[in-house]
């Protein structure tokens, strides 16, 4: 079994996003969605749905960003 950084996606209300991606990045997102779906025993999800969880994961694990945020006196932004 492959160890992916993202787990199963939450079934959240969809949000419309307009974003222009390089074709290579879109292909990578589509491949990631396919593997994630296969690991979860489901159909591949829309690759666009991966963008928010990936960004959240990136920001949550960026130690430099967390340190700079604390130094600036900004609390973590969580819902």
Residue boundaries of the structural domains of the chain: 23-71
Distances from the Cα of 70 to the Cα of 58, 62, 77, angstroms: 17, 13, 12
Rounded-to-integer distance, Cα 9 and Cα 45, Å: 9
Rounded-to-integer distance, Cα 52 and Cα 15, Å: 10
- In the chain, the percentage of residues whose pLDDT exceeds 90 is 22
Q: Quote the DSSP letter at residue 25.
A: H
Q: What is the pLDDT of residue 67?
A: 83
pLDDT tens figures, 7-40: 777 777 776 768 899 999 999 999 999 999 998 8
Rounded-to-integer distance, Cα 16 and Cα 52, Å: 11
Q: What does the block give as tokens for 68?
A: 């700079």
What are φ and ψ of residue 42, in 5° steps?
Answer: -125, 175
């Amino acid at each position: 079994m492959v160890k992916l950084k993202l787990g199963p996606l939450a079934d959240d209300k969809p949000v419309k996003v307009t974003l222009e991606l390089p074709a290579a990045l879109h292909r990578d997102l589509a491949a990631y969605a396919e593997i994630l779906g296969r690991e979860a025993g489901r159909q591949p999800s829309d690759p666009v749905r991966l963008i928010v969880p990936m960004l959240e994961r990136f920001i949550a694990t960026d130690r430099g960003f967390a340190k700079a945020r604390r130094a600036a006196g900004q609390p973590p932004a969580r819902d």
